[in-house]
Structure formats: structure tokens, C-alpha cells
Amino acid sequence: MGLTIGIIVVVVIVVLLAVLVIVGYNGLVRARNAYKNAFAQIDVQLRRRFELIPNLVETAKTYMAHERQTLEAVVAARGAAMNGLAAAQANPGDPAAMQQLAAGQQALDGALSRLNVVVEQYPDLKASQTMMQLSEELTSTENRVAFARQAYNDSVMNYNNKRETFPGSVYAGIFNFAPAALLEIPPERPEMRDAPKVQF
């Protein structure tokens, strides 16, 4: 009789441990999927932003014949930002990929800011209905990017908290759940903490 009780106790402990491992593993998987989904929202908004930029450049070209370098800088920065997004898409949360994405966005923000300064010198362009509409769409998209970045960072923080606290840290080590990186704003660019003011 004592042997039977001992076997039952061992079986209950083994089943309980198995359930705890499954619950912990599934919690980490759900948290990882949540930050990847949040990154997908950043991806959608950045792609929308990238689609607006060529229209913006084409509209500006008709008015700004002597500002070729500024327009080319915007196009080049868009290309670099798209490369950063592609790297981050391949591995959302990877520290190197997220740093490349942030650097590409920083370069694009700088190029758009310089374009904004130049557009101020062209009242006809600034008053163009197409330019005003593109400006409004770009501003709206920038706001969506900021919200998507915050949602992503919140999801990454939740995932990292789960993988760093006990017992999640044990499961993360056993099942190789790597830490995820935030999409951070460089400290030398505090103006990026707010959505850029795109007003032409």
C-alpha cells in the first residue's frame, strides 16, 4: 500500500512539473508571438511611409528644379531605411537588426527634415494641393509609426520580463528563447521621441 501511494505521489509530481513546463513554454511563445505581431504593425506603417515618399519627391521635383541634391538625399535615405526594415523583418527583436532599422529611420527623418526646410523656400509648392495632401498623409503615418513603435516596445518588454523572471528564465534557457531588442530612439536624437512635424 505504501508503494502504491509513493508511485501515485511521484506520478502527480511528474505530471505537475510537466504542466508547469508546458505552461511556462507556452507563455514565452505567446509573448514572443505578441512582439512579432507588434513589429508587423510597425512594418505596415513604415511601408506606407515609404510609399508616400516617392510621391512627395515627384511633386517637389516639379517646383524645385535646383534642389536635386536634397531630393536625391531623400531617395537614398528611403532606400537605406527600407534595407533596415528588411533586416528587422527577417529577425524582429534581434539587437543588430533593430539597431539597423533605427539608424535607417534616423537617416530618413533627417533627410525629410532637410526637405521640409527647402520646401519652405517655395511658396507655390507649399500651397500645392497635392503637396498638402501628401504632407497630411505623411504626418498621419508618422503618428501611426510612433504608436506602433510603442506597442512593439511594450510587447518586447513583456516578453523580456517573462524570459528573465523565475521560472521563465529556466524555460528560456532550456528552450533558447533569446532576448528581444527594443526599437529605441538614439539618445542624441531626442526630437525623434515625438512624431516629426511634416508641414510643407
Spatial CB neighbours of 84, under 8 Å, sequence gap ≥ 6: 100, 101, 102, 103, 104, 105
Overall fold of domain 2-193? de novo design (two linked rop proteins) (1.20.1440)
Residue-level pLDDT at 175: 94
Question: How far, in Å, CA of 37 to CA of 94, rounded?
Answer: 15
Residues, the chain: 200
Q: Give backbone dihedrals phi and psi of 120, rounded to 5 degrees, phi first.
A: -60, -25
Nearest to 198 by CA among 129, 120, 81, 124: 120
Task: For 166-189, write each residue's pLDDT tens digit.
Answer: 999 999 999 999 999 999 876 554
Which segments in the chain show pLDDT lower than 50?
189, 191-196, 200
Q: Which residue has the cell 512579432?
A: 36
Question: How far, in Å, CA of 115 to CA of 107, rounded?
Answer: 12
In this structure, are residues 163 and 177 in contact, taking their beta carbons and an 8 Å threshold? yes
Residue-level pLDDT at 61: 85
Task: For 132-157, write each residue's pLDDT tens digit.
Answer: 899 899 999 999 999 999 999 999 99
Residue-level pLDDT at 77: 95
In this structure, are residues 84 and 105 in contact, taking their beta carbons and an 8 Å threshold? yes
